[in-house]
Amino acid sequence: MALAKFEQIKQHILARIESGEWKENDRVPSENQLTELMDCSRMTARRALTELVASGVLERSQGLGTFVAGLKSQSSLLNIRNIADEIKERGHGYSVKQLALSQVRAEGAVAISLGLEEGSPVFYSVLVHCEQEQPLQVEERYVNPQMIPDYLQQDFNQLTPHEYLSRVAPLTEARHTVEAVIANEQTQQLLAITAAEPCLQIIRRTWSRKGVVSFARLTHPGSKFSLGGHLTFSQ
């Protein structure tokens, strides 16, 4: 059965975002342009754009047009950014230590989060991201090998997993939870903190257009890290 015209338009837009042809903040064709390009009514083009805006793939700017959105969590409105870029934008030195990169078995929450059967192979990495040579984040990540088959061939001393995943499987959705935790002994050592210091931990799942890509635990020392956001309320 042929896709409805508005779904064809959505797939057309998503394919160009996933291929990297249209990047974050690039302007996408207007309703009038899509009407001509896809041989459809303006109402159909408007529906396709509206649904992609609602899902967070696109964003509208009043008077300027519609653009490819940055990846956002739909539940918390917190931007998901490359930690290396955040640190460099503060004018600080960034460095990283890759501690693990291997294949393991998906168990418990990992299998459920990635939509895999218990015991299925998954790719696993552990990195410590540092700011001014001080550890700021322990990143423990499980990656779906069906989505990212070359993950284990990467050198994450050269680019972050976030940067690599965004490049090879542009992310379309993310969900995360944030909680205060007391880190286990190994994580305390990696973050160079005492057992008494609370940590801020983000549990995050990310999707591309084809399915779940990764499940990550991001742990930060509470004394060095905070989360913020900006909310706009309609009058």
| CATH number, domain containing residue 187 | 3.40.1410.10
Looking at per-residue pLDDT, the higher value among 129 and 91 belongs to: 129
Query: Does residue 227 form part of some domain?
Result: no
State pLDDT tens for residues 78-96: 567 788 888 887 778 999 9
Query: Does residue 41 form part of some domain?
Result: yes
Please check whether residue 136 is in contact with residue 218, taking contact to mean a CB–CB distance below 8 angstroms: no
pLDDT of residue 54: 76
3-state helix, strand and coil shares in percent for the chain, rounded to the nearest 5: 30, 35, 40
pLDDT of residue 234: 46
Least confident of 42-46, 61-65, 125-129: 61-65
Q: Are residues 46 and 22 in the same domain?
A: yes
Query: Does residue 64 form part of some domain?
Result: yes
Q: Are residues 46 and 141 in the same domain?
A: no
| Nearest to 12, CA basis, from 37, 43, 42, 46 | 37
For the cut 90, the answer to whether the pLDDT of residue 156 exceeds it is: yes
Domain span at 27: 5-68
* Rounded distance between C-alpha atoms, residue 105 and residue 112, angstroms: 12
How many CB atoms are located within 10 Å of the residue 156 CB?
A: 21
pLDDT of residue 226: 66
Q: Are residues 47 and 151 in the same domain?
A: no
Q: Which two tokens stand for residue 151?
A: 């993950």
pTM for the full model?
0.66
Query: Does residue 97 form part of some domain?
Result: yes
pLDDT of residue 116: 87
Q: Are residues 192 and 106 in the same domain?
A: yes
* Rounded distance between C-alpha atoms, residue 107 and residue 231, angstroms: 37
Q: Which two tokens stand for residue 222?
A: 């509470």
Q: How confident is the model at residue 227 (pLDDT cuts 50, 70, 90)?
A: low
The tally of domains found in the chain comes to 2
| CATH number, domain containing residue 55 | 1.10.10.10
Q: How confident is the model at residue 1 (pLDDT cuts 50, 70, 90)?
A: low
Q: Are residues 33 and 60 in the same domain?
A: yes
